[in-house]
Amino acid sequence: MSHIESPPDTSTDPFSGVPIGVAEQDEAHEFYRAMSIVRSVELEIEKMHRLGRMSGSFHSSIGQEAAAVGVCAALRPTDLVTSTHRGHGHALAKGVPIEGIFAELLGRASGVSGGRGGSMHLHHRRSGFLGENAIVAGGVPWAAGAAWARRRRGTDDIAVAFMGDGGFAQGVTHETLLLARFWKSPCLVVCENNGLAHSMPSERLFGPPGTIARMVEATGVLSRYVDGRDVMAVARVARELVAEVRRGVPAFLECSVFRVRPHSLSDPDYRYRPRGAGQDWLARNDPIANLRARLESLPANRVARIDREVAEEVAQALERAEAAARPPASASKWFVYSSPELQNHA
Ligand SMILES: Cc1ncc(C[n+]2csc(CCOP(=O)(O)OP(=O)(O)O)c2C)c(N)n1
Ligand SMILES: [Mg+2]
């Protein structure tokens, strides 16, 4: 973390009028950096996709960055995360290297999944990122089981499962929450309610934002709702829940966010929502731009420097990923059957 020259003891949040301590200012800047990295990486991926330099689909999390960053801020490196088809933000927020993600999408051997997984199958054990999963809600039982295994091993590590609002319509989510409570599995299920499950409006299925959290609460599971545009609020609530989860009380968090882009880059979303709906929302609600405006009003703000550093870091990571080698043709047979020569690739 970088340092402020001659920092004032406190400053005042221009919106709330509440004094902000130096530590909180530092943290807000780091959240700004982390969210900017997610945004910048995904904008680069959009370019790669348009230029036909990557294969496979891509589900953008633009507009949802505060949920990923705020929740992962409550975790330690040894905690585990499972994710969805829209998981780049979760991976980056949990510490998966940018270069390894780009290399994965470009089909390079140095990709986090050896270049064979692509956008929806990132995984990186060293960062505690168990992986993405393209099966809606598939990460939920995975996290609950992993958390339970950690607990049996005697650690107090926890697991977080990110899922979408569509995941709440999956039976396995409800089964998992019940079982996790029964077995005291230290897992936190985070529902990023972005208003749509592909073209199905979440309000039509569940009611207004916050309803999903109340439904879970009614089952006796510890459950909260938070505005997923506000990274500071997400981090605060996530920390409260994570403290409980570490004691063996599974929990649920609904974050209201917004899917700015179409479902995937090949989705004609103008068929089911007004053209420009995403950009209109972003113009008024962008979690990054809003935090930037708040930080810019602080005397010790350093957002311009962070912008430059993020741009440089992302550009360098992309350059290194592009320069990396592709896997040999013989690699196509790896992991089909177990074999000793895979020792170095496991
Ligand atoms: C079990 C299952 N059913 C259907 C699909 C097809 N599918 C892929 S993404 C998606 C919508 C998911 O919506 P949500 O969980 O809200 O996540 P979001 O895309 O909004 O992030 C669907 C239905 C799937 N991948 N898995
Ligand atoms: Mg959704």
Residue nearest to atom 4 of ligand 1 (CA): 136
Look up residue 337 and give its DSSP letter: S
Nearest ligand to the C-alpha atom of residue 137: 1
* Tokens linked to 273: 């929502």
pLDDT at residue number 21: 77
* Tokens linked to 108: 């390079």
- The preferred substitution site among 57, 198, 269 for testing ligand 1, maximizing ligand atoms within 8 Å of CB, is 198
For ligand 1, which residues put their CB under 6 angstroms from it? 84-86, 134-136, 164-167, 194, 196-198, 259, 263
**DSSP one-letter string for 131-191:** E--SSTTTHHHHHHHHHHHHHHTT----EEEEEEGGGGGSHHHHHHHHHHHHHT--EEEEE
Instruction: Give 319-332 pLDDT, tens digit per residue.
Output: 999 999 999 988 88
> What's the CATH number of domain 16-265+277-327, 3.90.79.10, 3.90.1150.10, 3.40.50.970, 2.40.40.20?
3.40.50.970
Question: pTM value?
Answer: 0.93
Residue 340 has pLDDT above 80, yes or no: no
**Residues in a beta bridge with 81:** 129, 160
The whole-number average pLDDT for the span 135-154 is: 97
H helical segments located in 220-265: 231-246
Q: What whole-number distance in Å separates Cα of residue 306 and Cα of residue 57?
A: 30
Neighbours of ion ligand 2 (CB under 5 A): 164-165, 194, 197
State what percent of residues in the chain have pLDDT above 70: 92
Nearest ligand to the C-alpha atom of residue 68: 1
Cα separations in angstroms, 227 against 46, 174, 232, 256, 288: 27, 23, 10, 5, 14
Q: Are 13 and 299 in contact (CB under 8 A)?
A: no
Residue 36 has pLDDT above 70, yes or no: yes
pLDDT at residue number 343: 54
Look up residue 333 and give its DSSP letter: G
Instruction: Give 207-250 pLDDT, tens digit per residue.
Output: 999 999 999 999 999 999 999 999 999 999 999 999 999 999 99
Residue 334 has pLDDT above 70, yes or no: yes
Mean pLDDT of the chain: 92
Measured in Å, residue 135 CA sits from the centre of ligand 1 at 7
Look up residue 118 and give its DSSP letter: -
**In terms of Cα–Cα distance, which of 305, 303, 302, 301 is closest to 11?**
301
Confidence of residue 84 (pLDDT cuts 50, 70, 90): very high
Token look-up 């003891």 returns: 9
φ, ψ (nearest 5 deg) of residue 239: -65, -40
**In terms of Cα–Cα distance, which of 87, 67, 94 is closest to 138?**
87
Instruction: Give 54-64 pLDDT, tens digit per residue.
Output: 988 899 999 99
pLDDT at residue number 55: 84
Instruction: Give 114-142 pLDDT, tens digit per residue.
Output: 998 999 999 999 999 999 999 999 999 99
Measured in Å, residue 76 CA sits from the centre of ligand 1 at 28
pLDDT at residue number 13: 55
